[in-house]
Structure 1
Amino acid sequence: MTAVTLDVAKELIATAEQKAEEIDVPMCITVMDEGANLVAFHRMDDALLASIDIAQNKAYTAVSLKLDTDTVWELSQPGESLYGIGETNDGRIITFGGGIPLESNGDVVGAVGVSGGSVEEDVTVASAAVEKFESL
Structure 2
Amino acid sequence: MQTKAVLTVSDVDAILAAARAEAIANNWAVSIAVVDDGGHLLGLVRLDNAAALSAYICQEKARTAALGRRESKVYEDMINGGRVSFLSAPVLQGMLEGGVPVVVDGQTVGAVGVSGVKSDQDAQIAKAGIAALG
TM-score normalised per structure 2: 0.89
Conserved in 1, the CA contact under 8 Å of 2:38 and 2:63? no
Conserved in 2, the CA contact under 8 Å of 1:29 and 1:112? yes
Q: What aligned pairs does 1:1-136 form with structure 2 within 5 A after superposition? A: 2-80=5-83, 83-89=84-90, 92-133=92-133, 135=134
2:69 partner letter: K
Percent identity among equivalent residues? Answer: 27
- d(CA) in 2 for partners of 1:94, 1:84: 15
- d(CA) in 2 for partners of 1:13, 1:109: 16
TM-superposed deviation, 1:2: 4.0
- d(CA) in 2 for partners of 1:126, 1:32: 12
Structure 1 103/2 Cα, relative in aligned 2: closer, same or farther at 3 Å?
A: same
Conserved in 2, the CA contact under 8 Å of 1:86 and 1:94? no
Over residues 18-68 of structure 1, what are the superposed CA-to-partner deviations in whole Å (9 max), with x where a residue is unaligned? 000011011100000111111111111111111011000000100111110
Name which of structure 1's ranges 114-123 and 98-107 shifts more when overlaid on structure 2.
Answer: 114-123
Structure 1 78/101 Cα, relative in aligned 2: closer, same or farther at 3 Å?
A: same
TM-score normalised per structure 1: 0.88
Secondary structure class of the residue paired with 2:80: coil
